Amino acid sequence: MVSVAIDGPAGAGKSTLARRLAAEMGYIYVDTGAMFRTIGLYALRKGVDPKDNAAVNTLLPEIGLRVDCIDGEQHIYLNGEDVSTAIRTEAAGMAASAVGANPAVRAFLLELQRSMAKKQDVLMDGRDIGTVVLPDATVKIFLTASPEARATRRWKEYQAKGIDTPYEEVLADVKQRDYQDTHRAAAPLKQAEDAVLLDTSELDFEQSLDAMKQIIAKKIG
Ligand code: DC
């Protein structure tokens, strides 16, 4: 099986780029952030602080998580409910970042992530795919951009969806999430030694896509 691991901070464009690349390459796109978001969402719905590891751990046995690919789109189900849209809020993102620091949550999701890469060719994005989940991935890309460039992109996405969040708030969230994701003890966000670094601060979508294709082509032809 061929696997492409794409890691990087929030808002670097991983999911948009990975989704398009997967469609072009005929691979399955696996968005691991959605899995952490789903657990974060469940904690929020249950009134549990996502940072409270012990409390979140008691919820894990109640969580049935299923991932399906429908028309090339990943859908994620929480106890049978399609939460693919519900997890796309800033609050669910912050909750995901908090539960991502919980080793039991990471262990809970690891098998699901690995099993998906065993069955099919995948493009998997996240924070620790090249370092922990798929250390033998065929291609590893570390995708990054400046906090300002990432916040601007996020802010535009929110505007397009009609969500009115001040830019300063989005930037502060980006920085806080970077801090949480890089400073946690469990599988922190960091570039794998054998990953190719791609900084997209100055690149538009098509340029970023081309750069990724070149990196992939060098490894798998
Ligand atoms: O990629 P995203 O913004 O949907 O991810 C949300 C949060 O989930 C992110 O801030 C950290 C956590 N996460 C993680 O810890 N490990 C992953 N492989 C993917 C996401």
Convert the pLDDT of each residue in 81-127 to its tens digit: 999 999 998 899 999 999 999 999 999 999 999 999 999 999 999 99
Q: What is the mean pLDDT of residues 182-200?
A: 94
Task: Answer yes or no: is the C-beta of 33 below 6 A from any ligand 1 atom.
Answer: yes
How many angstroms separate the alpha carbon of residue 128 from the centre of ligand 1?
9
User: Which atom of ligand 1 lies nearest, measured to the CA of 14?
Assistant: 1
* Closest CA to ligand 1's atom 20: 33
Helix (H) or strand (E) holding 221: none
* Closest CA to ligand 1's atom 1: 33
pLDDT of 73:
84
Residues 6 or more apart from 83 whose CB is under 8 A from it?
Answer: 38, 41, 76, 77
Q: What is the mean pLDDT of residues 167-176?
A: 94
pLDDT of 148:
97
Q: How far apart are CA 218 and CA 55, in angstroms?
A: 46
Sign of CA dihedral 42, 43, 44, 47: positive
3-state secondary structure of 146: coil
Instruction: Give the number of other CB atoms < 10 A from CB of residue 184.
Output: 18
Residue to mutate (ligand 1; options 127, 142, 177; most atoms within 8 A of CB): 127
User: Which atom of ligand 1 lies nearest, measured to the CA of 100?
Assistant: 15
The pTM is what?
A: 0.92
Strand order in the sheet with 65-70: 65-70, 73-78, 81-82
Q: What is the mean pLDDT of residues 179-191?
A: 92
Of 66, 61, 81, which is closest to residue 116 (Cα–Cα)? 66
Task: Answer yes or no: is the C-beta of 38 below 6 A from any ligand 1 atom.
Answer: no
Q: How do beta strands 28-31 and 73-78 pair? A: unpaired
Convert the pLDDT of each residue in 33-83 to its tens digit: 999 999 999 999 999 999 999 999 999 999 999 999 888 789 999 999 999
pLDDT of 10:
86
How many angstroms separate the alpha carbon of residue 56 from the centre of ligand 1?
16
User: Which atom of ligand 1 lies nearest, measured to the CA of 94?
Assistant: 10
CA dihedral 72, 73, 79, 81 (to 10 degrees): -120
Burial 30-44 (b: 16+ CB within 10 A, else e): bbbbbbbbbbbbbbb
Residue to mutate (ligand 1; options 7, 17, 32; most atoms within 8 A of CB): 32
